[in-house]
Structure 1
Amino acid sequence: MTLLRRFAANIVGHAIAMFARFVTAVRPDWRGIAPVPHQRVYYANHVSNGDMPMIWSCLPPAMRRTVRPVAAADYWLKNRLRAFVGPEVFNCVLVDRRPEARAAGEDPMAAILRALEEGSSLIIFPEGNRNMTDDPLLPFKAGLYNIGKAFPDVDLVPTWIDNVNEIMPKGEVIPLPLICTVTFGAPVHVAPDEDKDAFLTRASDALLGLAPEVRT
């Protein structure tokens, strides 16, 4: 990235964060962990295209530089604007969801694990796709478990986004002004000898436990 493009990306990033705070009054709730620059994987519910910017905007500026959202290459490379915002503003780790678009034998987890090896933190959506159902969460894909097994010392932080679906309903371009809360819970880790299904159930329960309607 050239110096000029890096400068432009920083300006756009600050503008996105300010816009998100202005429109949604997004409020971070660091309930289970402190906002400090440790390597983490923030895993969140996914109901809207606004999810990732909401989490990213909640992070202190110093943390944003090292936290990389994992995002769909086929979405963020669709046009020139997205191809600038995704890779250069958000510094996304891009993964193509289309098997036919990947090189032969290419592992979609490789870029994610490489980013962690380089010391980055991540934002991921373990449901895989936006949840358009009435269920609070879709079943988690195996990626979160694979990350936890490969990097057992990295905190996996459940991150619940509340009200984004109302702010950015499907098909809408202009956000509706509502208050949005992003709640960061206590981290989880894959326990020794814990199998995939048991861990994903536990991780899902930890995330769901942050949802307002099921809090006790």
Structure 2
Amino acid sequence: MKEFLAAALDFILCRITIFITGVRPPQELLNIGEGTKIYYANHASHGDFLLIFVSLPYRVRKRVRPVAAAEYWESGPVRRFLAKNVFNMVLISRRKDPLEALTQMNEALQTHSLIIFPEGTRKMNDDLALQPFKSGIFRLAQQCPSVPLVPIWIKNARNVLPKGFMIPIPLLCELIVGEEI
């Protein structure tokens, strides 16, 4: 029953995300090759990972795990269910040793691709400049040199689900995918 509910929620959330944001999978993601990858993007909203997640072909999406803050996603039964059963997230505690987070991501990369946000926290203004990256993406790339990095720029997500809002505002979003590194 839990698996059926998780699959149904996955389907519904993907359709709602596409409807609200109008996001369309870029050709680069539709033609993504097989194998483990690290998708990394700018971070402006709790919905950022969903935009990337729904843009991946289903066959790829089932082998992708978003990396997120444990403190947020374990803060209630609904979020916990979504994180563990629907999105299969790698939940990182901000209170623990950063090397533990690196170990968790490295272990996840043995079987899954990751979606990470190297800025570490959401950006709160419209300035196009990125915040400084945390060192995790560099260290992860050092430990897993054969895993390609796929850069993605998310446009307009901050305005769809601003900080403190629970209900998204319908606005068009776009993903711009760079070449694998």
Q: 1:92-116 CA distances to partner (integer Å, 9 max, x unpaired)?
A: 01110123xx7xx972211111001
Structure 1 residue aligned with 2:39: 42
How far 1:160 moved relative to its partner?
Answer: 0.8
Name which of 160, 164, 176 aligns with 2:153.
160
Percent of pairs identical after alignment?
Answer: 40
How many residues align? The count is 180
SS at 2:109's partner residue? Answer: helix
Instruction: Give unpaired runs (5+ residues) of structure 2.
Output: none
> Whole-Å Cα distance in 2 between the matches of residues 34 and 154 of structure 1?
17
How far 1:51 moved relative to its partner?
Answer: 0.4
Structure 2 residue aligned with 1:95: 92
SS at 1:18's partner residue? Answer: helix
How far 1:161 moved relative to its partner?
Answer: 0.6
Name which of 166, 172, 178 aligns with 1:173.
166
1:23 partner letter = I
1:150 partner letter = Q
Instruction: Give unpaired runs (5+ residues) of structure 1.
Output: 189-216
Structure 1 residue aligned with 2:119: 127
CA contact (8 A) 1:48 1:130 kept: yes
1:89 partner letter = V
Decide whether aligned partners of structure 1 residues 37 and 8 sit closer, same or farther in structure 2, where only a CA change above 3 A counts.
farther
Name which of 113, 122, 137 aligns with 1:144.
137
Aligned positions of 1:21-100 closer than 5 A? 21-31=18-28, 34-99=31-96
How far 1:30 moved relative to its partner?
Answer: 3.6
CA contact (8 A) 2:29 2:56 kept: no
Q: 1:124-173 CA distances to partner (integer Å, 9 max, x unpaired)?
A: 00001111243521001111111111111111000111111111122222
Structure 2 residue aligned with 1:17: 14
CA RMSD of aligned residues (A): 1.8
Please, what TM-score do these two structures have when normalized by structure 1? 0.78
CA contact (8 A) 1:163 1:181 kept: yes
Larger radius of gyration, structure 1 or 2? Answer: 1
